[in-house]
Amino acid sequence: MKVSLIQMNSQENKAANLAQAKRLIDEAVAADHPDLVLLPEMFTHLSESREAKKAAAETLPGGEAWTLLRDLARQHRIVVHGGSLLEADGDKLYNTTCVFDRDGTEIARYRKIHLFDVVTPDGKEYRESATFARGGEVVTYRAEGHEIGASICYDVRFPELYQALAKKGAEIIMVPAAFTLQTGKDHWEVLLRARAIETETYVLAAAQCGTYANGNRTTYGHSLVVNPWGHVIAKAYDKPGFVTARLDFGYQREVRQMIPVHQHKVL
């Protein structure tokens, strides 16, 4: 399977963000012909304003972002794992992933479980729970003959979620993200490699990069693909674009035979 990770610098302007996502997906398909494309977290909108987030949210199914993802999957005959977008459900907002198969059929939806309520080393405060409700379902889906697990950004710090995805048969785990610069420079790659080693899965992490919120917030970028041995096999840096890798499931079977952790679990 060939996969392309889209790295973006989303802002508050939803229309501009959707245009950026479409352009980068079109470019990745033209250049590398991937089977699957992964977008970053909140590819539709990044800001500090709760009111702006509510205005950018969509009731699913439907909405501009949901429709764009469906249409790109259908147009390019690819699987589109839509990073995450703002979902409105009554009075609640969710940080939600939508996935579409090559026919443009929605095959999975995941709401972010772990909400980022922290103060980073540079003193900036993040309170996702002030805006978003928490998801409660561990989600995998079948695409291209393989089981794929869904997670979003801060989820990566909770290995029990990744063990649950592995228990459901995940061979690939997705991590769309908008990791902060302060945490990303020390923790991003370490955490992703650890999750790949523990689960012996391919971990695909598409990220936001650069500043947003009028320069008040900075995301780390460095979208990457980690193989089941824990090696980084593809990596972007700190600008919008895309990176592509080929996943070798024969190699994954070899890793799982060498160190059969799935057979040794006692808890």
Q: How many residues does the chain have?
A: 267
Enclosing H/E stretch for 5? strand 2-7
| 2 is annotated as an active-site residue | no
Asked if CATH classification 3.60.110.10 holds for the domain at 2-264, the reply, yes or no, is yes
Please indicate whether residue 265 is annotated as part of the active site: no
Identify the helix (H) or strand (E) that includes residue 224: strand 224-226
CA distance 146 to 51: 39
Q: For the segment 92-150, what is each residue's pLDDT rounded down to a tens digit? A: 999 999 999 999 999 999 999 999 999 988 888 899 999 999 999 999 999 999 999 99
The pLDDT assigned to 14 comes to 98
Do residues 209 and 7 lie in contact, with contact meaning Cβ atoms separated by under 8 Å?
Answer: yes
pLDDT tens digits, one per residue of 46-70: 999 999 999 999 999 999 999 999 9
CB 236 within 8 A of CB 40: no
Fill in the DSSP letter of residue 135: P
**Structure tokens, 133:** 């409700």
The tokens describing 135, both together, are 């998801």
| CA 238 – CA 185 distance, rounded (Å) | 11
Q: Which of 112, 171, 200, 209 is catalytic?
A: 112
- What percent of the chain has a predicted confidence (pLDDT) above 70? 100
For residue 215, give the DSSP letter. Answer: T
Q: Which residue among the candidates 12, 14, 41, 106 is catalytic per the annotation? A: 41
Domain boundaries, given as residue ranges, for the chain: 2-264
Q: Is 153 a catalytic residue?
A: yes
pLDDT in tens, 153-195: 999 999 999 999 999 999 999 999 999 999 999 999 999 999 9
Active-site residue identified among 153, 171, 200, 209: 153
Half-sphere exposure of 148 (CA within 13 A, CB side): 28
**Cα 55 off chain centre by:** 22
